[in-house]
Amino acid sequence: MSTVLITGCSSGFGLETARHFLENGWSVIATMRKPDATLLLNSDKLRILPLDVSDKASIDSAVEAAGEIDALVNNAGVGWLSPFEGTSDENLRRLFETNTIGTMEMIRAVLPQMRAKGAGVIVNVSSSVTLKPLPIASVYTASKAAVNAFTECLALELGPLGIRSHVVLPGQAPTTSFGKNAMSLMAQTSDTPEDYQDFVVQIMQAFRDPTGKELTESKDVVEAIWNAVTDANSPLRIPAGKDAVALAG
């Protein structure tokens, strides 16, 4: 029996990935900042643990409580669209603490047990925004581009130890809570200088307008994560969703 630990299971890709692994007979440790047992069907293969990936103590206690795992899926993340000058120091750090350092610290916490076993899989959920420069996405893109580069280097040092590393690059998926959560953070804390306002309005309109766009569905991301974990021949970088696949060329 195999066990996967997934971060950020309260909604979106994380929740759907937890459901998929459970349906396919895996033991699942679904982690959430605020555990909510009503989100997933009760199962003796399911454990829900509290985990805030920006808090080292929370990571250590979740990984200790989890015990032995075969796969780690670093899915937790926060979005942010704003000119760099409208991004406070606090939000800059929040993005990197969650998307980048949270991913690294989760890996640091599980590596000793994977190294001891000589086996394990790490899947980091990044973003297709890293495949093409976009305005007002500098901070979010940087937080995810660092994850890509980190994963690619890590794969080289962990491969010889029997541990696989992959990065999944989802495209734009409006059906998760990602946009709503990002908009709420932006509404509360963005402080964009007036000179950017017209430009930001144009970019946000284009971003929200689905006309003629190929988009990503949660099932695309679930499938990419599933393939990365279960197929030893999966590529290191896996675009997920039609738009991401097109961007990856």
Ligand X SMILES: NC(=O)c1ccc[n+]([C@@H]2O[C@H](COP(=O)([O-])OP(=O)(O)OC[C@H]3O[C@@H](n4cnc5c(N)ncnc54)[C@H](OP(=O)(O)O)[C@@H]3O)[C@@H](O)[C@H]2O)c1
**Residue 97: CA count within 13 A, CB half-sphere:** 12
User: Which of the stretches 50-58, 108-116, 193-201, 202-210 binds ligand X when contact is defined by CB under 6 A?
Assistant: 50-58
Residue 34 CB, shortest distance to ligand X, in Å, is: 6
**Cβ closer to ligand X: 7 or 190?**
7
Q: Nearest 5 degrees, angle CA 63-CA 50-CA 25?
A: 70
- Residue 35, amino acid: P
The interface with ligand X within residues 93-122 (CB under 6 A) comprises 98, 102
140 is catalytic: yes
Catalytic residue selected from 26, 80, 140, 150: 140
Q: Decide if residue 239 touches ligand X (CB under 6 A).
A: no
| Residue 3 C-beta: closest distance to ligand X, Å | 19
Count of residues touching ligand X (by CB under 6 A)? 30
Q: Shortest distance, CB of residue 138 to ligand X, whole angstroms?
A: 15
Site string for ligand X, 17-36 (x = CB under 6 A): ----------------xx--
> What residues from 54 to 83 belong to the interface with ligand X (CB under 6 A)?
54, 75-79
HSE, CB side, 13 Å, CA atoms: give it for residue 100.
18
Cβ at position 234, least distance to ligand X in Å: 18
Give the residues lining the site for ligand X (CB under 6 A): 7-14, 33-34, 51-54, 75-79, 98, 102, 125, 127, 170, 172-173, 176-178, 181
